[in-house]
Amino acid sequence: MTFWAYLLRCGDGSYYAGHCEDLGYRIDAHQSGRGCDYTARRQPITPLWSQEFESRIEALEAERRIKGWSRAKKEALIAGDWICLSQLAASRVARPSTSSGRTEKGGGVGIEDENIKCEDIEGHDIKPTVCAEPVEAPRPTLAQPPGPIP
């Protein structure tokens, strides 16, 4: 069975992340105001991104991760800007070890701050695109080792 994580843009400009079994049915439900209270009150909605998963738990985990992301990071995902997305996922400054006893209140400044945008990252000037149909992002593949390790 196939499961999906997806990201929608609501009429008020906010983003909604969800997961489901039948993507077409779920998008239709959101567009008709039957999907959930959040999207029903923020019509119209536009599907921006989706990705297929092999299990419900994988799709749910993706939804929960995305819900915790900054707006800039969601826009990098929508635009398919993997460089910007990885930079937004990284910390802007080194954080001291919590075991060193030298951590200060407030620690380092993370790049996930809502005030940081992809345009603020050197060499990136992206504009998120809006798709009429859900877009499936490519799944990363792992390189196979050349052979058995002696």
Sequence ranges of the domains in the chain: 3-120
| 46-53 and 15-20 strand pairing | unpaired
What's the pTM value of the predicted model, to 2 decimals? 0.63
* Angle (nearest 5°) at CA 26 between 8 and 35: 75
pLDDT in tens, the chain (150 residues): 899 999 999 999 999 999 999 999 999 999 999 999 999 999 999 999 999 999 999 999 999 999 999 999 999 999 999 999 888 887 555 555 555 455 444 443 333 444 445 554 444 443 443 333 444 444 443 344 444 443
Q: Which CATH number fits domain 3-120: 3.30.70, 3.90.25, 3.40.1440, 1.25.40?
A: 3.40.1440
Which residue type does 49 have?
A: W
- β-bridge partners, 6: 18, 50
Phi, psi of 16 (to 5 degrees): -130, 125
